Structure 1
């Protein structure tokens, strides 16, 4: 992936300064020529390096050494002054991840399943205590901060890797939550033949079939393709709830010469049955109830009324042209659509009916949403030197346009449902109560310079954004229009020791425009955030491993929340602060042994509030000094995989993992949700020819636990045991 050599230059200069520039490769001279007179024979040269290019998603094993997500340039992770986590394709396959949330279970700082068994219905991700935005190949996708259920949930089988940039990232990506960016990197075309089909069966009557095909379309490799798809039909741990999916992702790359690449990518996913989305009261789940425990298999909704369907697709292209070794231009364009149709019966959030410990009052809810995202990102990259300073400068401007429509209907349901002896009765339809139409636009211009001086690496980036939106709701009788302008920046410094140790420090900012207004008519201010981070990265020479340790102080201001006294309006409660420690390591300790381990300590608290109190569970509660609901202080995980590569049992391997999620609280900090330790395991066998068999167990000992509680009436059970058997055929 070097820039190549043109013209006439000495061999040593060509190797050292041209061919290997910007790569992790090294060379060693093994001969000095044949000693004959006349023409000189060029010495044989041995070139070695790591095969890892995150732009095309070619990382192998568990260890990645570069990530375009962090800088939009091919910068090694050890030279990036911010914490970055990478989940590779091999890790996802070994752990049998069936969703993006599952793929992130072993990632530092990330809390991917705060909704427990409702994660499929609402795939909300958190990092460092704040929402973690999903991006697809560097372009933004809808998030739950502005939309309710139209949140994408692409199948991870179509991904080559997931890059997580922790903390504020507006400098490169515009409006975004301070938790960071989870960039889903799609599988790309390859000129090498690639063919795989698989079948999976197991818990909850799972039946799944998939394929992944790729290769050159022309003899010279100028055209190549990738076609990935799967079909899924399964029950869930909740009675009467299914998961069904059809996924297809074609991609074509045109490479007319060594300097030009155009890749067209598309994804289509239809989920006729998304999965479960509901909750139970705290009493009977995390708290004692005189009637015992609510079953984790109970459907609190209605099997005959409930349905949840999601359609999502994305189409776009990545274009790159290198004019010369100095200048490169890129354009990335995506159009993404998520449509979600939900009908559900929910319990009221205050829990049981008055005077009852068995029965909850419920309401029918229908919600139809469509979110359309258009994004285009234009980049110009220049590599040059000024004296002893080597620069990689990036200039860009991007544009985002969002169209969102939501129609909501509600209806009170009588009688209530006895959670310990449920009887389901016919549910009437709903009456439309809201018709929300939102239009959002954002234009941003940014610049970044990465400077290398000896063993020092310095980064600075700046950005200016112009954002506007209007929110029109005829049924509720309001129209909000607002526009915002924001300047954000980040900077960082790294020092590269010969030992592979790289201490760093960084500062970054973000902003996220808010939709809506206060009851007084004042528009909501954008939320803003800033993060101070110091840490150290370690990439020991001669070993395939990478370790990161980071200390951070992250603060978000103008945090918005629903107005408890005026339905449909919002209030801004003040500031939330998160301080903590991240530890994460990926290592291939030997040819046989792979390891992933992480630990996170997080102190997340509301430090300032403009409210004297807010109504929660019928009581007025001050948020000052409270921890956000569902966010634990301690999270730790480790996954170990051992595979035999010689002897009688060559190809046989064993994997095992442990996940510890610490205790958390509800909004009032009065309901304590206990910690849990979950065990995962795997056995796999590669025949060495075509077949690969695997058996994976998740939450192997079937621990029943509550993932989180938002209030006394809103708690989510976690997923129970799941065992999956997979057979893959490759040729």
Structure 2
């Protein structure tokens, strides 16, 4: 349970927001102000219900979430949020041993992951066919978004489908992925684990915290993970370190202040070189350069979060974060083509050095009140972001390689960068949202946001500084209607807009989504079932295109659209049986536009299958008291066929089916032995194709010993 859910008042007292009435999430540490008891006996205060019988989400012990935390920008009740929402809790992450964000999201409806296979530079996933914007505790990761995040750092991952610029500012239309950081809890707790697995992957992790003083107003938390390992091919490494420390001061139940600092370092090999196109090769073959295959990432983050509730229905939340990042990489890749004869394949080298420094913060006010049978929640906020980046990129032809008898040539020498850039970003935003709940059955939501963006770029590629700039002002809107069919079921209809971050010389990409959906949360059972139908359109699209030379160029292709439907279920069906299941249908189309002068009108998107489905079942066999509990889990994932490229002329992927399995055995009280197997049948597919083929990850096995207290 995160500190956002942790009570400072007597145990058992929890809060939840009725309808979409509250946009700023209040921790369960809310003490009721002057109010009245309604006819059901629940304590009523404007649109907030304080119910002594309701339990807050416990991310460490359940895969089912009923609340949402996105930095105070939407309602906490998932049942009443007028959007398609998926939450992956800490319990589910641990249960599936998800070491990468791609692994965390692979059982989530409407999301395709890992479509670049063994290219390990970034986390790759698409939501509803489009890129998703990433956030941490409700604030955009901005210039930090290219970094592979560490799942062990987070309580949960929250996915809100569809563009939501009114809530989150400039963002991509597919949706938003919000990482909720682990935070102090006002209790003593801890975890220590060690694991070892395929490719000599060794890990040690710890997560513990406690109360610091007798008055119970100070609490801390320390999280860390060290990983040392290799990948599927020779001359590889996959090392990382993550550390987080946080302190929370809660002098009263109305006020809370948290400081945190974390450090992430990755030392790996990207394996972006790929495999030849002519046939299927063994994954343990390597066609790059062992001495020129690296990615070194370091990121430092400092954060502050403040919350205060006044006595008149007014609440304040403020957040501030500073991040500093360096990211250097280089590799040699294949540049193959279908017409090649013989075993010699051309190669190129590519790499870059980049830095980023960013400040971001916001302040949000919320006022809750009631007018007879109408509950009102009004939110207004400001947000700012300043960021500076530098990048130096190099590229060039390299020696060919004989793929039948590989001989390495050593690292390239004498190269010079073809692009040297310095860019400053400034964003200022105002946003407001009004929610009205009528007789606790109908909730109307309307929102507006105005973003002002300034971009200044200095191009030093030719040795002479060339400065350009751009100013943008964009407005986005949101409207939704929710109907509470019963206390267990709700239906909604919504319209949302997105405005993607622009670049100098291009128009901002705009998205619009219409969606209707149903949600069902049965009483007396920890379960949530959701279904939705949507129509999502994006205009002024700028996409990265891989040229025949291997260089990636950003090009505008016009308008595109995805229509689809989604189902998702997370349920503890019985005391011993848990289910996680999803299905999504997606129909993607480039409505109009061209890439490098060639029309793509009517084509399907690249790497967007029509069908996605998954199922994960966990069955618990009770043991003998303090030991012997056994959990057995089996998962299946299906990814339908999709086009490899936007031209739809480089072939389609095969249909993909994967089986995963897990076993957890309690060898002593609070001590567990866990075994996970991913891609149990060791299926091998070409999941991505450009100037080379990219394969999915092969079978991996890990064994972990975990102690909790």
Normalising by structure 2, what TM-score? 0.90
Structure 1 residues 137 and 71: CA distance shift in structure 2, 3 A: closer
Aligned in 2, Cα 1:127/1:483: closer, same or farther, shift over 3 Å?
A: same
**Could you report, residue by residue, the CA deviation over 1:672-725 in whole angstroms, capped at 9, with x for unpaired residues?**
11111000000101246231110000001111111222x3x2331100000010
Counterparts of 1:285-684 in structure 2, within 5 Å, are 293-324=280-311, 326-348=313-335, 351=337, 355-414=340-399, 416-429=400-413, 430-454=415-439, 455-476=441-462, 478-498=466-486, 500-516=488-504, 523-561=505-543, 570-609=554-593, 611=594, 614-615=595-596, 621-645=598-622, 650-667=628-645, 668-670=647-649, 671-684=651-664
Evaluate the alpha carbon distance shift between residue 23 and residue 214 of structure 1 in structure 2; reply closer, same or farther with a 3 A threshold.
farther
- Report the CA distance shift for 1:641/1:23 in structure 2 as closer, same or farther (over 3 A): farther
Could you tell me how far 1:304 is from its partner in structure 2?
A: 1.5
Choose which of 215, 225, 231 in structure 1 pairs with 2:226.
231
1:132 partnered with 2:132: yes
Q: Could you tell me whether the CA contact under 8 Å between 1:124 and 1:131 is conserved in 2? A: no
Is contact 2:155–2:180 with CA below 8 Å preserved after alignment?
Answer: yes
Q: Deviations over 1:3-61 (max 9, x none)?
A: 43456x77778952348973473xxxxxxxxxxxxxxxxxxxxx421222xxxx75640
2:694 is aligned with 1:707: no
Farther off after superposition, 481-490 or 666-675: 666-675
Alpha-carbon distance change, 124 to 336 in structure 1, aligned in 2, over 3 angstroms: farther
Cα RMSD of the aligned pairs, angstroms, is 2.4
Deviation track 1:58-116 (CA, whole Å, cap 9, x = no partner) reads 56401101102296244301111110100001000100010111111100111221211
Match of 1:29 in 2: none
CA distance in 1 between partners of 2:347 and 2:177 (Å): 35
Post-superposition offset of 1:532:
0.3
Structure 1 partner of 2:27: none
Gaps of 5+ in 1: 26-46, 285-292, 517-522
Which deviates more, 306-315 or 421-430? 421-430
Task: Give the Å deviation of 1:129.
Answer: 0.7
Deviation at 1:260, TM superposition (A): 0.5
Q: Counterpart of 1:39?
A: none
**Contact 2:37–2:44 under 8 Å retained in 1:** no
Q: Which moved more, 1:355-364 or 1:627-636?
A: 355-364
Question: Which of 38, 50, 55 is matched with 1:50 structurally?
Answer: 55
| Contact 2:206–2:223 under 8 Å retained in 1 | yes
Structure 1 residues 568 and 117, CA, compared in 2 at 3 Å: closer, same or farther?
A: closer
Q: Distance in 1 between matches of 2:656 and 2:123?
A: 21
**SS at 2:118 equivalent:** helix
Q: Does 1:271 align with 2:266?
A: yes
1:656-683 per-position Cα deviation (integer Å, ceiling 9, x unaligned)? 1000011111222131111110000001
The equivalent position to 1:728 in structure 2, one of 693, 706, 709, is 706
Deviation at 1:122, TM superposition (A): 2.0
| CA shift in 2, pair 1:529/1:463, >3 Å | same
**Gaps in structure 2 of 5+ consecutive residues:** 1-13, 16-29
- Conserved? CA contact 1:629–1:708, under 8 Å: no
Change (3 A) 1:493 1:646: farther
Cα distance 1:460–1:196, how it changes in 2: closer, same or farther (>3 A)? same
TM-score by length of 1: 0.88
SS in 2 for 1:465: strand
CA contact (8 A) 2:36 2:44 kept: no
Shift of 1:646: 5.3
Distance 2:300 2:600 in 1: 40
| Contact 1:226-1:252 at 8 Å conserved across structures | yes
Conserved? CA contact 2:351–2:394, under 8 Å? yes
State the alpha-carbon separation in 1 of the partners of residues 609 and 276 from structure 2: 20
Q: For residues 217 and 106 of structure 1, do their structure 2 counterparts lie closer, same or farther at Cα, with a shift above 3 Å needed?
A: same
Matched with 1:189 is 184
- Give distance in 2, aligned partners of 1:5 and 1:673: 56
2:600, 2:153 → 1: CA distance? Answer: 42
* Aligned: 1:698 with 2:678: yes
Q: Deviations over 1:426-460 (max 9, x none)?
A: 23322221101111111110001222112112211
* Partner SS state of residue 582, structure 2: strand
Task: Please state whether the residue corresponding to 1:130 is helix, strand or coil.
Answer: coil
Query: Greater CA radius of gyration, 1 or 2?
Result: 1
How many residues align? The count is 673
Tell me what 1:280 maps to. Answer: 275
Q: Which moved more, 1:567-576 or 1:171-180?
A: 567-576
Distance verdict in 2 for CA 1:431–1:395, change over 3 Å: same
